Amino acid sequence: MMEDIHERALKLIDKMQVEGVTAEERGWLDLHLESCSQCRKQGSETEQALRALRLALPQFDPTLVRTTQMRARIRARELIENAVRMRALWISCTLSWVLGVVSAPLLWRGFEWIGHRLAISRAVWMTGFALSWVVPSVVVAAVIAWRQGRGTSVMEERWRVILENGHA
């Protein structure tokens, strides 16, 4: 029975720090601690441990903040530039798609007429028509991939210069 009381007190000491206790529990604990030196000792050890934890200060290198801020600024500029480029690319892609759709019947007739004049088989001029649709988008995708790859290496180069010289 006595062990249960002490066990409850020790649990409440930790609970008070971790998740808090009710007023009733607090009242019971205070009353118990007044008469139990062993549990009181545990309570003060817990408080000491947490006080020591709160006061433990890790060493902080002040240059870390400046380096991080500089790096973040460069990355921010890079992301903003990329966003502007991507917006322009999306607008031109949309325009080209609309123009493509509008001009598709004319293009079809054009390919058909050339096929007829040059006596080319139907499959060949239809393939030509399909390629005229696919090739521009493939080229655009290749350009985007190339630019993104180039963007990363430019970023890495800028970052290397900062690390070597200490400034952008």
Partner 1 sequence: MNVMGLATCWFMRTIEQEAEEVAGGLRRRDPALLDYLIQQHQYRLFRYLLMLTGSREEAEDLFQETWIRVLEKGHQYKKRWKFETWLFTIARHLAIDFLRRRRPQSLDALREPAGTARPFELEDTTSSSAFEQAFQGEEAASVATALGHLPAWYREVLTLRFHEDMELEEIARVVDSPLSTVKSRLYRGLEMLRKWLKDIEA
Q: How far is the CB of 54 from partner 1 (least distance, A)?
A: 6
Q: Helix (H, G, I), strand (E, B), or coil: what is residue 157?
A: helix
Question: Of residues 53, 101, 123, 134, which one binds partner 1 by CB under 8 A?
Answer: 53
Cβ nearer to partner 1, comparing 64 with 119 = 64
Q: Can you tell me which of 1, 2, 4, 18 binds partner 1, judged by CB under 8 A?
A: 18
**Pick from 22, 38, 69, 96: which binds partner 1 (CB under 8 A)?**
69
To partner 1, the closest distance from the beta carbon of 32 in angstroms equals 19
Q: Is 32 helix (H, G, I), strand (E, B) or coil?
A: helix
Query: Which among 57-65, 87-95, 101-109, 121-129 is the span making contact with partner 1, rule CB under 8 A?
Result: 57-65
* Cα–Cα distance for residue pair 158/167, rounded to 1 Å: 10
Q: What do you get for the CA distance between the two ends of the chain, in Å?
A: 71
In the numeric block, which tokens belong to residue 63? Answer: 């240059």
With binding defined as CB under 8 A, does residue 75 bind partner 1? Answer: yes
Can you tell me whether residue 34 is helix, strand or coil?
A: helix
Q: Does residue 64 touch partner 1 according to CB under 8 A?
A: yes
Rounded to an integer, what distance in angstroms lies between the CA atom of residue 95 and that of residue 99? 6
Q: Which of residues 3, 4, 19, 30 is near partner 1 by CB under 8 A?
A: 19
Both tokens assigned to 140: 């655009």
What's the CA angle centered on 145, arms 141 and 149, to 5 degrees?
170
Stretch of 47-55, 89-97, 101-109, 119-127 contacting partner 1, by CB under 8 A: 47-55
For residue 34, what are its two tokens? 């007044």
Q: Do the beta carbons of residue 91 and residue 153 sit within 8 Å?
A: no
Question: Binding residues for partner 1, per CB under 8 A?
Answer: 14, 17-19, 45-46, 48-50, 52-61, 64-65, 67-69, 71-73, 75-77, 79-80
